[in-house]
Structure 1
Amino acid sequence: MSTQVSQTEPTAVGAVDAARTALVEEVGSADVGGHLGHVVEGDAVVTYLFACKRAGYVGWHWSVTLVELPGEAPTIDELVLIPGDEAIVAPAWVPYRERIKPGDLSPGDLLPVSDEDPRLVPTYAFGDDPLDADAKAQVRQVAQDLGLGRVRTLSVEGRDAAAQRWYAGQAGPAAPIAQSAPHHCHSCGFLLRISGSLGETFGVCANGDANDDGRVVSMDHGCGAHSEVRLAKKHEPQPLPEPVVDELTLDLLETF
């Protein structure tokens, strides 16, 4: 917050002492610094600014607003602490809906989607991906006439946003586990292919031993649980020696 201090003396600038006295009575003398100036708010209304010496409030100012009527003692109108140009203030408010991140939802939590969410469009207007063009036309007609099927489906914006999010995250090629993988997911036998426009870039991992089991992964993602991974010979288990049959009997011992 920027504080603009007037250098023009109001009608009764002598009220600085009255402002300081009222401030000291309210917050104590230890927290009040020197007079910084004043702001003429309007006819007979003046705000006096004092430095704040309170711990943790560097750059803040005490603001004391007085009503100064001619011939009468100044009247205290407001006393507040305000941030200056160098004050440390809380970050800008972010609505709760925009602060939610993947993984924040707990069982029973509800996260409604706005009717105007750009990620979704009416199914009758766009079809139901990954149907082909003819099938999309049929879906649009059926949904329009009978109201059947999903009410909304992914828009182009919603699909692209999901693809960018997945590709840039832990399911993409830049993930540390993918950087050290011997092979990519596109050649893994555990990859389940998906239909539609995202099928060329993504699939679903079906390896129960892999970190990404049951998750969408990019074709150029990878991990050490690839179906074709093989251990180097030095890491393979050593073969067991041939078994030795003990043929020594009591009768044979007596001959020694």
Structure 2
Amino acid sequence: MTNPEPETAAAPAPRRRVYQRAPKLDAVLAEAIERARQGVLEIAPADQVGRHVSAVAEGERLVVHRFEARVPGYGGWQWFASVARVPRSKHVTVCEVGLLPSGQSLLAPDWVPWSERVRPEEAAEAREAEAAEASTDADADAEASTEASTEGSAGIPAPMAQDGSDETSDAAVVSEEDPEAPEGRSGDSTEMPEHGSESAAGQPDGEAGAAGSADEAPEANG
């Protein structure tokens, strides 16, 4: 039994080149300049629509007319109006109108991401500003804490100074003679005998009183 020969890979079919034919400018639509201008005047004032610039075929039975735009701030821009018609008809229909830039128009620069717009020196300045702000906040916090501690220590009441002014005044009041006191007695001369003190006879006060009462008893009985 013989081994079958391996099948050879089929060669890819050659690609056919497609030639795109430029659309033919429709004569009826190319001559519809006033119809295209009327379409533009529906959205723009008459003094802002200038001369007719061009008529370009954009497809089969589709033409775009361009007019000069006299709009402040839009130098080089052009009004456009696209017109079309159905086969075997000469009725022109305005499809779309608007404002488009030309090769001499003033355009905004291309958008660039923020990461690519920031330069190295700008990034360094931003970091320095953040560091300065952080140090300022730290200083403010330290100052606030210092003020709080100072206020707390100042809020403790100081001990009241004690002097002899009250005692002196009380002593002065006591030393004054009471006008309502009985005669022969004064506030400063009155002294209370201490307990257990002896009388003039040399005996204690208690014993002297007992002896006096004993001497008086016989006389009362006699």
> TM exceeds 0.5?
no
Answer 1 or 2: which has greater helix percent: 2
Answer 1 or 2: which has greater strand percent: 1
Between Structure 1 and Structure 2, whose CA radius of gyration is higher? 2
Q: What's the TM-score, normalizing by structure 1?
A: 0.35
Q: What's the TM-score, normalizing by structure 2?
A: 0.40
